[in-house]
């Protein structure tokens, strides 16, 4: 990776979870094209790391740089610009239920500064085709299955051509077959576009089938494990 600069870099970072420190001394570099899992049982700091990446939580100690912004010193007015450089996918989809699929996507584009109606419509059509949902633009979210809603959430994450997609348990509410389809889609985006993926999961089947780097959160630390056999499933669910 000597010829690449990391998109996300933590150095000696203490991660806050509410009023407590949940991770001490995090060192992690994420590069273009990486697919990295963050695994661990509830309360070990997985989601707190994600919140720090999007500047929802601040560092207690150390340094973190995300998409060119230093998290320890980022200004409030800079946070929206940081978030435009990443796409975020949640377990519960977080779609606007009173708006159609196209209106959900149009809302995000207008909120992030897109002005041309023609370019907005072209971008909506492009991302929907990318996730295999081009025929669902006029559907309301409640008319879609869970897997279809998550595909729309991924389309939303792609709108501003992010450097990285951050996915917090994106398959957590889906059955195994549907989850497999979402993983194939994320893998395709990662490989075809070189978009880095950071995914929180507790599903061992996923990170064994769809290989990537694995960071394990346990005992107030988060460290990389290269051998799947080293990961104790009982302590990471």
Q: Is residue 72 domain-resident?
A: no
Q: pTM value?
A: 0.89
- Whether residue 27 lies inside any domain: the answer is no
Identify which of 29, 41, 11, 9 has the alpha carbon closest to the alpha carbon of residue 220. Answer: 41
- Does residue 6 lie in a domain region? no
Q: In this structure, is residue 216 part of a structural domain?
A: yes
- What are the tokens at 132? 């295999």
Among 65-69, 87-91, 123-127, the range scoring the smallest mean pLDDT is 87-91
The CATH number of residue 216's host domain is 3.40.50.300
Instruction: State which residues form the domain around 98.
Output: 32-55+80-229
Any domain includes 17: no
For residue range 218-230, what is the model confidence (pLDDT) as tens digits? 999 999 987 666 6
Residues whose CB is less than 8 angstroms from the CB of residue 79 and which lie 6 or more positions away in sequence, other chains included? 55
pLDDT of residue 2: 46
Within the chain, strands assigned E span 8-17, 20-30, 35-39, 61-66, 69-70, 86-90, 164-168, 196-200, 213-218, 221-225
What was the pLDDT predicted at 71? 95
In terms of Cα–Cα distance, which of 68, 64, 62, 61 is closest to 50? 64
The answer to whether 179 and 167 are in contact (CB under 8 A) is no
203 assigned to some structural domain: yes
Q: How confident is the model at residue 237 (pLDDT cuts 50, 70, 90)?
A: very low
- Number of folded domains that form the chain: 1
Q: Does residue 214 lie within any of the structural domains?
A: yes
Round to whole Å and give the CA distance between 185 and 125: 17
- Please list, in sequence order, all residues whose beta carbon lies within 8 angstroms of the beta carbon of residue 93, skipping any fewer than 6 positions away: 141, 146, 149, 150, 152, 153
pLDDT digits (tens, 9 = 90+) for 110-155: 988 888 999 999 999 999 999 999 999 999 999 999 999 989 999 9
Instruction: Note whether residue 48 is domain-resident.
Output: yes
């Amino acid at each position: 990776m000597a010829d690449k600069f990391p998109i996300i870099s933590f150095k000696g970072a203490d991660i806050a979870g509410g009023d407590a420190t949940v991770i001490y001394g995090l060192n992690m570099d994420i590069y273009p094209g990486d697919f990295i899992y963050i695994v661990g049982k509830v309360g070990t700091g997985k989601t707190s790391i994600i919140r720090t990446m999007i500047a929802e939580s601040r560092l207690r100690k150390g340094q973190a740089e995300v998409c060119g912004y230093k998290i320890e010193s980022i200004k409030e007015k800079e946070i929206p610009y940081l978030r435009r450089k990443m796409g975020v996918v949640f377990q519960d989809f977080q779609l606007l239920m009173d708006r159609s699929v196209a209106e959900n996507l149009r809302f995000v584009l207008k909120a992030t500064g897109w002005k041309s109606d023609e370019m907005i419509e072209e971008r909506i059509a492009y991302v929907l085709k990318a996730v295999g949902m081009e025929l669902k633009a006029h559907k309301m979210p409640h008319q879609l299955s869970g897997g279809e809603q998550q595909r729309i959430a991924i389309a939303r994450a792609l709108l501003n051509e992010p450097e990285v997609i951050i996915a917090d348990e994106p398959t957590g509410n889906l059955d195994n077959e549907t989850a497999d389809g979402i993983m194939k889609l994320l893998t395709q985006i990662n490989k075809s576009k070189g978009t880095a993926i950071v995914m929180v999961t507790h599903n061992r089947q996923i990170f064994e089938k769809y290989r990537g780097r694995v960071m394990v959160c346990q005992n107030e630390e988060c460290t990389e494990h290269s051998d799947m056999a080293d990961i104790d499933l009982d302590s990471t669910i």
